[in-house]
Structure formats: structure tokens, C-alpha cells
């Protein structure tokens, strides 16, 4: 077609546990998006804490079914694993959801 546009070679990578961001992207991307299906067995009140393991010096933005629920960050710039905590800005009813975490 004479068009010089090229498709990016990006592909989804599926893994049971999160992969280390710099090694995964060869430090060429600013963000990594992690997504998984979850089942919530009991209603969760607004203001509840969502905790997960993350790396120091990363920022995390959390979505549930594409709805923003909170964010957290650590700026220590050390190489260690931390328990991160997000205060949920919405109440969540029991049911099935897609949990998405954007890491930068």
C-alpha cells in the first residue's frame, strides 16, 4: 500500500505470578499492566484496604472491572519487596471481577 506504518510486536504475556518489570520489558516501557480474574465472596465496604506484594520504587494504580479504586506508591528506590496497601474508594459487592493493576 506504500504505507510505512508498522505493527508493534507487543504481545500479551500470561504467567501465574507477576514478572519483574525491568526484566520483562528490558526497561523499554514505562508501564506494565497486570490483570487477573477474582471472585469476591463477601461485600467489601468503601475504605477497606486491598493489600498485595510489590516492588519498592514502583507506583500502582488499581482498577476493578475498569473502575478506578485507588493507588499507592513507594519511592525508596531500593531493591526489595514490600506489602503495598490501597484504600478502596468504592464499595464492592460479592461477585466475579477483573482486577487490573498498572505498575510504573
If DSSP states are collapsed to H, E and C, what string results for the chain? CCCCCCCCCCCCCCCCCCCCHHHHHCCCCCCEEEEEEEEECCCECCCCEEEEEEECCCEEEEEECCEEEEEEECCCCCCCEEEEEEECCCCECCEEEEEEEEEC
The model carries a pTM of 0.70
**Tens of pLDDT along 67-76?**
999 998 877 7
Burial class (CB in 10 A: 0-12, 13-18, 19+), 102: middle
- pLDDT, tens digit (0-9, with 9 covering 90-100), for 40-93: 999 999 999 999 887 666 788 999 999 999 998 877 766 777 888 899 999 999
The span from the CA of 19 to the CA of 44, in Å, is: 28
Amino acid at each position: 500500500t506504500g504505507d510505512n506504518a508498522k505493527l508493534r510486536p507487543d504481545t500479551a504475556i500470561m504467567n501465574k505470578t507477576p514478572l519483574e518489570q525491568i526484566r520483562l520489558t528490558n526497561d523499554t516501557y514505562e508501564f506494565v499492566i497486570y490483570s487477573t480474574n477474582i471472585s469476591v465472596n463477601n461485600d467489601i465496604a468503601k475504605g477497606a484496604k486491598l493489600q498485595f506484594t510489590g516492588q519498592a520504587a514502583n507506583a500502582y494504580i488499581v482498577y476493578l472491572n475498569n473502575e478506578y479504586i485507588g493507588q499507592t506508591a513507594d519511592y525508596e528506590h531500593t531493591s526489595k519487596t514490600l506489602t503495598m496497601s490501597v484504600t478502596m474508594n468504592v464499595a464492592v459487592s460479592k461477585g466475579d471481577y477483573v482486577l487490573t493493576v498498572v505498575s510504573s
